[in-house]
A = this chain, B = another copy of it.
Amino acid sequence: MQRPDMSVVLAGIPMRNPVMTASGTFGYGAEFADYLDLESIGAMVTKGLSLKPKAGNPTPRIVETQGGMLNAIGLQNVGIDAFIEQKLPYLKNVNTPVIANLYGNTLEEYGEVASRLDGLAGVAGIEVNISCPNVKQGGIVFGTDPGAAKEVVSLVKRNTSKPLIVKLSPNVTDVVLMAKACADAGADALSLINTLTGMAIDLDRRRPVLANVTGGLSGPAIKPVALRMVWQVAKAVKLPLIGIGGIMNGRDALEFMLAGATAIQVGTASFLDPSAAQRIAQEMEQYLVEQGIESVRSLIGALEA
């Protein structure tokens, strides 16, 4: 049998395979160049970018939990200008699509970051992180309110000609409602899930472990929640989906595709194994070979339920 066809096209972005790296877990790509072939994976997503450089939260910022980890990095990043000057030139030389993950602290900031990225060569698409508090509106998180999400996505859409991926928060009663709001507002694809809000306590010191008190839960622990949400959204919304949450190996990744994802992102797994993204793509291919499946695309949404 010839090698299976692993390629997918996501919202117009052609990828050699469905494996992307998740925002905030792969730096700006270069950090992992020693551990895997950046040209072996489907796409790279940058750390979340904001208009100005952002310092992030005080430390401790991370803590391990059972089967997962909490992070409260606070979206530390170099800012959009430094990204363009310092990070993008390196990435342009890598023959793998780069998705710029962006966020804002106000509605307007979202729009400005998006327009700054528009027209930039070397950025194949943008992923909008709406799991951020709106500082102007008492801190309510954009991604937990359908109205606010719609506003953000519409604004970004007006400011970009690039494929627009919206990344959904799992901390909601009805993820389908949020997905529909983003679809209506012009999203070209949806990625899910971002982290679940959690907390860890240091019993002896009687204090939260994280300086920020709460943080985002990621890793294998959240996979069942992520799979459920991808499946729910896939049934209700026609947009292509990117499955994220606790993907550690090729089988995990393929499960997300069965649930309806066109591509997947590898997050926490890259900390355990910096070559995880490449390994996962290989394991997926290997599974296809063993099962005699010709194209990975035939698995998208192929769950019998």
Contact = CB atoms under 8 A, between A and B. Distances in A.
A253 to B, nearest CB: 10
A223 B287 CA distance: 33
A193 B70 CA distance: 19
Q: What is the total number of copies of this protein in its complex?
A: 2
A221 B258 contact: no
Interface in A280-302: 287, 302
Given A198-B228, A199-B227, A203-B258, A305 B221 contact: no
A196 B227 CA distance: 12
Interface in A236-278: 246, 251, 254-255, 258-259
Chief secondary structure at chain A's binding surface: mixed
A197 interface: yes
8 A-B pairs with least C-beta separation? A67-B67, A198-B224, A66-B220, A221-B221, A199-B228, A201-B255, A199-B227, A172-B173
Interface of A: 65-68, 70, 144, 171-174, 196-201, 203, 206-208, 213-215, 217, 220-225, 227-228, 231, 246, 251, 254-255, 258-259, 287, 302-305
